A and B are shown apart, each in its own frame.
Chain A
Amino acid sequence: MLSRVANSIYWMCRYIERAENVARFISVNLNLLLDMPSEKGKHWEPLVMITGDQALFEKMNSDYNRDAVIRFLTFDRDYPNSILSCLAAARENGRSIREIISSEMWEHLNNFYLELADAKSLTMALEDPHRFFKIIQMRSHLFTGLMDSTMSHGEAWNFARIGMMMERADKTSRILDVKYFMLLPQADLVNTPIDNIQWTAVLKSASAFEMYRKEHHHITPRKVAGFLIFDSQFPRSIRHCIAKAQICLHRITGSPSGSASNVAEKRLGRLKADIEYTDIDEVVDHGLHEYLDRLQTRLNQVDGAIGTTFFNFKPLIENATQEQSQA
């Protein structure tokens, strides 16, 4: 398939996944606040921290209040990772490949964007945020479901899945990093009810709470981190995302797993092996933050390798297509 098309479908799915993640973070935070002693300002900042875009937020806003954060993360067209910007980008990508994706996907994505861009959305987001962000999440899931059930699972679909898995792995690592950083220093809070609520929220941010319970029952920071990084079955654990991305990559190239025919396969394969042969105790000994930081860098390297292997390999031509900007 055309390199440009592969690039577009990969990014279309990354953007949808990104939008869904942002909506979920906000949802969880809204729920969390209901259980927290009021402490003005402190609860909305971490949401922006997860995205890594505090500088941009602070340039445009004076403080981290609820409405400002919701507005920024959801509707700000000047902020490239807001839900609206993500959907606009997903739709632009979708439009440029609408002959590749199914009409169901296109019509859903188009409608999803048009309704979000409507002025009524902002009112609803501020007045009934629980319902609003739930709708965003469900629409993203619907898109994924449509993709799975209306589009052939060929090359294009595999690129789409890789985009989604890479984005998901990145977001899970960010949630964990930010929360761990925020929660651990407060030693006096460990094992208090509030601490428990916070760690529950971390799990919920990754839709992981129920699945975690079945596996571990009791909530401890170490087990939560272990679950989100290393669980082999949970669909948002980093290990699971990497494994799924690898399967799709090998389907595209046709090279057997366990071998690598290009740099993207090499990097991804190595990353997967490292995760499979590491455990949480080892990670905590070396420092979780350092580990996650390194992991994010390696995810970016895989992303870059996918780009140079499949999307913009034309070495003879200057000004080759720019990779889409990433957060």
Chain B
Amino acid sequence: METFRTYDTGAFYDELIEANGQPRSGAQLLVDKIESLPAGDLVLRQKAAEAMLLKMGITFNVYGRDEGTEKIMPFDIIPRIVSSSDWQQIESGLKQRIFALNEFIQDVYNDKRILKDKVVPEDLILTSRTYRKECEGFTPPRGIWCHVTGTDLVRDGDGCFYVLEDNLRCPSGVSYVLENRQVLKRTFPQVFGASRVRPVDDYPTKLLEMLEFLAPDNVQTPTIGVLTPGIYNSAYFEHSFLSQQMGVELVEGQDLVVSDGFVHMLTTKGLKRVDVLYRRIDDDFIDPAVFRPDSMLGVRGLIEVYKAGRIAMANAPGTGIADDKVIYAYVPKIIKYYTGEEAILPNVPTYICREDQDRAYVLAHLDQLVVKAANESGGYGMLVGPHATETERAAFAEKIAAEPRNYMAQPTISLSRVPTIVGNRIEGRHVDLRPYVLFGEEIYVQPGGLTRVALTKGSLVVNSSQGGGSKDTWVL
């Protein structure tokens, strides 16, 4: 039976249900609704939602070309609900954090004050794989580097939110937020209406305004494009969706050429100048003349035009430096340095393997820690100590000893859970939260975000590439 009567929150913080089994205040309407459904109805609604997603073609590609290579991102119809007081903290914390990180990137590539003041070790910056020497001395249009961010937050057993990762390069997933919302509005229309959920649909408009804000001064009506690697990219749906929602061109590298010092699109009526690119291709591939010469996805000469101020790009190249998982450990200090304030959203405590004392602790406590490589994402290159075998831990210990700069470790967070449909029961599954932040004329935090859920029982890995799914996120 799909009911909360037998639901067990276990030893975890549950986002909908209190430890005593009562719904949290914002979740009462939803829980009542689910309890009132005839047996089997919740599962039917779940199936209907999945069918809707497949029909809309909201799929991600599993590489290869055979049948069955496209899947919908697993989706669970029970939403995660965030109270308005929790959201206030998240919103102000993210604004503070993104502002400070943007200052940091500008500083690192220009005056290097924070390095000279020894708040962040200089060699750490210079040895980062995401440091772009090409950006030294450069200031992007309006001084903004990280226009689009998707920060990963987690809630620990103590009920507090922590920042787990900053994603300042090409974070994806916002289209799922928008589409999940469409589906859920149809799944629980009355509860949704009565709960006064804050709308997320503003996002494409805000994104467009931000991109227009970046356009060179002499351009009245900028031509804007979303630059995608193409239909075989796993986030292609999102690129297409965002360009459609904004009403701008979706372009691939092959559609663009540099000529006469500007970037142009190849159109049926000849060349047309492009003023702003929302690029969804990594730095490495964006311009074979500057970065990886074997890239087939980028545009030769793009960076030169960009540096000359004749095209704007979001995000700016070089933002990956603030994404380095070891530099992450210094973000509270970075916030303090640029704003004079304490971080509103704390970091997860982090051990830096290049520091001898920390490394010794990490190596001695591998069975309790999560170890991450500085520049991997998607759940790759990490060790979840408590779930790993002795051999896996030993292998990781060698990697850490060989290349200490490249690793950091954190205590295993006891991620909060949300009730989730499993077969015909409701069980708790671990989640994180990725809100999306836009930095244009001002900083905008989309009220909602992607709640990723680890569908495997007990699993803490929420990445879609590792069997994770998603939920709608209701901010009240």
Contact = CB atoms under 8 A, between A and B. Distances in A.
Interface of A: 1-4, 6, 92, 95-96, 98-99, 103, 106-107, 110-111, 114, 117, 155, 159, 252, 310-311, 313-314, 316-317, 321
A313 B266 contact: yes
B133 to A, nearest CB: 29
B55 A4 contact: no
A2 B267 contact: yes
Contacts of A107: 55-57
A1 B267 contact: yes
A98 B254 contact: no
Given A2-B266, A96-B231, A98-B57, 8 more contacts: A1-B267, A2-B268, A3-B267, A95-B240, A98-B244, A99-B243, A252-B268, A313-B266
Interface stretch (B192-200, B245-253, B283-291): B245-253
Contacts of B57: 95, 98, 106-107, 110
A309 to B, nearest CB: 8
- List the 6 closest A-B pairs by CB distance, nearest first: A99-B244, A310-B268, A110-B57, A3-B266, A6-B268, A99-B243
A126 B129 CA distance: 58
Interface of B: 54-57, 67, 230-231, 236, 240-241, 243-244, 249-252, 254-255, 257, 259, 265-268, 270
B268 to A, nearest CB: 4
Contact of B231 (A1, A92, A159, A311): A92
A111 B54 CA distance: 9
Contact of B257 (A4, A96, A316, A321): A316
Contacts of B255: 2-4
Given A2-B251, A107-B57, A98 B267 contact: no
Nearest to A8: B231
A41 B289 CA distance: 60
Given A4-B252, A107-B55, A99 B240 contact: yes
Contact of A1 (B243, B244, B268): B268
B238 to A, nearest CB: 11
Nearest to A98: B240
Given A4-B266, A310-B268, A316-B257, A117 B231 contact: no
A92 B240 CA distance: 13
Contacts of A6: 268
Contacts of B231: 92, 95-96
A114 B72 CA distance: 13
A111 B55 contact: yes
Interface centre among B236, B268, B270 (most CB of A within 10 A): B268
Contact of A314 (B54, B67, B250, B266): B266
A4 B254 CA distance: 9
B64 to A, nearest CB: 13
A316 B265 CA distance: 14
Nearest to A252: B268
A103 B55 CA distance: 11
A310 B269 CA distance: 7
A94 to B, nearest CB: 9
A6 B240 CA distance: 16
A136 B300 CA distance: 44
B352 to A, nearest CB: 44
Nearest to B57: A110
A68 B62 CA distance: 32
B102 to A, nearest CB: 30
B257 A317 contact: yes
A3 B257 contact: no
B67 A117 contact: yes
12 contacts: A1-B267, A2-B249, A95-B240, A98-B244, A99-B243, A107-B55, A107-B56, A159-B268, A311-B268, A313-B270, A314-B266, A321-B254
Contacts of B254: 4, 321
A316 B267 CA distance: 15
A6 to B, nearest CB: 5
A310 B266 CA distance: 9
Nearest to B242: A99
A48 B252 CA distance: 38
Contacts of B259: 316
A114 B58 CA distance: 13
